[in-house]
Amino acid sequence: MNAVLSKNNAPVAEPVRSMWQLALRRFRADRIGVVSAVVVLAGLLLCLASAAGWMASAWNQEVGPSDRPPAWWVSGSAAEPSSAQPGTLAKKGAATPTDIEDPIAAELQEAALSIGRQSSQRREPTPTDIVDPIEAELAQARQQVTGSAGPSIGLGDATLWMGTDKWGRDVLAKTIKGAQTSILVGLSAALMATLIGAMLGAVTGWFGGWADDLGNWVYNVINAIPSILLILAIAAVLGTKGEWAIVLILGLTSWTGVYRLMRGEYMKQRQREYVRAAEAIGASSWRQIFVHVLPNVSHVLLVQFSLLTVACIKAEVILSYLGFGVPVDGVSWGTMLTEAQNDLLVGKWWQLLSATLAMSIFVTALSLLTDALRDALDPRIVQQGGQDV
């Protein structure tokens, strides 16, 4: 008898761990998960730094000659610089014979675009700032001169790690700013979708009856329309473009999966004893839904949120590429890919590389993190996976 008691007592002596503590312990054991969590956190910090203006705030300024290849590429291949990195003065002024492969049409277009940019920049300051635009142009001219004077000694070289785009903007800074836009848009849209889905799912799953019928009807309607079509239809009627339009479009169209899961969870949890107990002591329905049940299903929400963020970042890139997303004066990974497509045709690959690398690193890390989160938070899946030899 004593022995039995002591055996039963033994586990009690161990500190009681909550679901989250257990999950954290499982998560820590997952090496891929931890590494991807670090990468995702670093990306998020970068976004915050950029949003706060500590980084890449000058992405829109001309910091070097246009279309300069990345610094590591220029210094890496000694033979390349003369052709791959034509001096801007020579290019914009008298074209040297070696520049003959550069079509003049492209240059004209570039010049027109850069003039367009300058004039649009000029309009921004108030009339009292009259000194400012000239100064900017002077600085820019000076930079062009120094840029062409010595391609390998110029100050701009060492810092322009990913080169410049056709307006002489730092591609690295653009990538960081683009990351801020794409990631924040993805996060906001996913947050919106998760909130909508969670609220609807909780209420319909909990109350059942006509609320459930109504919820299912809305779900069926939204699900009957292929999501890409719904996204495009809303984009067509909204008419406005911009980050918030995308958040709205993606948030309104991608909540159905969360809804379905949460509805099921709430129907299941409602029958559990702890909920019956809460009901017995007189907790109101809303209190039961949000205080008692919500923490017990929050791990489902976290995984869904993470999945949705990946999907929304990808969708933002495509929408911006199509011109329904981030407007031309903004920058996101999508707009960078749009520019990069044209750049590539004239052999300028670094913007494509930069945006692609940044996006794939972050999204891969986020996907792997999602997998790790799911494994850590839902041990049943691990068991299922472990059963098979």
Partner 1 sequence: MGAYVVRRLWQMVPTLIGVILLVFFLFNWVGGDPAYVLAGLFSNDAQIEAIRRELGLDQPLWVQLWIFVQQVVTFDFGNSWTSGEPVSSLFLSRLPATITLLLPLLVIETVLCLALAVLLAWLRGELIDRVTMVIFTTAMSVSILVFIILGQYFLAYRWGLFPVQGWSDDLWTNLTRYAPLPILLGLLVSIAPNTRLFRSFVIEEVNQEYVRTAYAKGLSRRRVLFVHVLRNSMIPVITFVVSNLPALLLGSFLLERFFGIPGMGREIILAVERSDFPVIKATTVYLAIATMLFNLLGDLLYQVTDPRVELK
Binding partner 1 (rule: CB under 8 A), the pick from 54, 217, 244, 290 is 217
Least distance between partner 1 and beta carbon 129 (Å)? 33
By the 8 A CB rule, do 247 and 192 touch?
Answer: yes
189 or 363, CB closer to partner 1? Answer: 363
Binding partner 1 (rule: CB under 8 A), the pick from 107, 356, 378, 379 is 356
DSSP state of 272: S
| Cα 12 to Cα 369: distance, rounded to the nearest angstrom | 33
| Closest CA relative to residue 62, chosen from 42, 83, 92 | 92
| Cα 119 to Cα 117: distance, rounded to the nearest angstrom | 5
| Cα 6 to Cα 255: distance, rounded to the nearest angstrom | 50
Instruction: For the segment 18-77, give every residue that binds partner 1 (CB under 8 A).
Output: none
Terminal alpha carbon distance of the chain: 40
Q: Which strand (E) or helix (H) includes residue 295? A: helix 294-322
Stretch that binds partner 1, among 65-73, 81-89, 257-265, 359-367 (CB under 8 A): 359-367
CA 264 to chain centre: 29
Describe the crossing of helices 243-253 and 294-322 by its angle, rounded to 10 degrees: 130
Least distance between partner 1 and beta carbon 352 (Å)? 7
Is residue 245 near partner 1 by the rule CB under 8 A?
Answer: no
| Cα 76 to Cα 74: distance, rounded to the nearest angstrom | 5
| Cα 262 to Cα 285: distance, rounded to the nearest angstrom | 16
Binding partner 1 (rule: CB under 8 A), the pick from 23, 46, 189, 235 is 235
Least distance between partner 1 and beta carbon 317 (Å)? 5
Stretch that binds partner 1, among 3-11, 106-114, 290-298, 366-374 (CB under 8 A): 366-374
| Cα 332 to Cα 316: distance, rounded to the nearest angstrom | 9
Describe the crossing of helices 256-270 and 209-224 by its angle, rounded to 10 degrees: 150
157 or 316, CB closer to partner 1? Answer: 316
The count of residues interacting with partner 1 (CB under 8 A) is 48
Is residue 264 near partner 1 by the rule CB under 8 A?
Answer: no
87 or 305, CB closer to partner 1? Answer: 305
Binding partner 1 (rule: CB under 8 A), the pick from 262, 321, 374, 377 is 321
53 or 239, CB closer to partner 1? Answer: 239
Q: Which residues of 3-32 are buried (b: 16+ CB within 10 A; e: fewer)?
A: eeeeeeeeeeeeeeeeeeeebeebbeebee
Is residue 179 near partner 1 by the rule CB under 8 A?
Answer: no
Using DSSP, state whether 78 is helix, strand or coil. coil
Q: Which residues pair with 170 in a beta bridge?
A: 164
What tokens appear for 76 in the block?
A: 């890496």
Least distance between partner 1 and beta carbon 50 (Å)? 20
Least distance between partner 1 and beta carbon 261 (Å)? 17
Stretch that binds partner 1, among 86-94, 113-121, 123-131, 331-339 (CB under 8 A): 331-339
Least distance between partner 1 and beta carbon 141 (Å)? 34
Is residue 112 near partner 1 by the rule CB under 8 A?
Answer: no
Least distance between partner 1 and beta carbon 187 (Å)? 16
Q: How far is CA 184 from CA 115, 245, 289, in A?
A: 31, 13, 29
63 or 331, CB closer to partner 1? Answer: 331
Binding partner 1 (rule: CB under 8 A), the pick from 28, 277, 341, 382 is 341
Is residue 360 near partner 1 by the rule CB under 8 A?
Answer: yes
Q: Where does this chain bind partner 1 (CB under 8 A)?
A: 217-218, 220-222, 224-230, 232-239, 310, 314, 317-318, 321-324, 333-334, 337, 340-341, 344-345, 352, 356, 359-360, 362-364, 367-368, 371, 384, 387-388
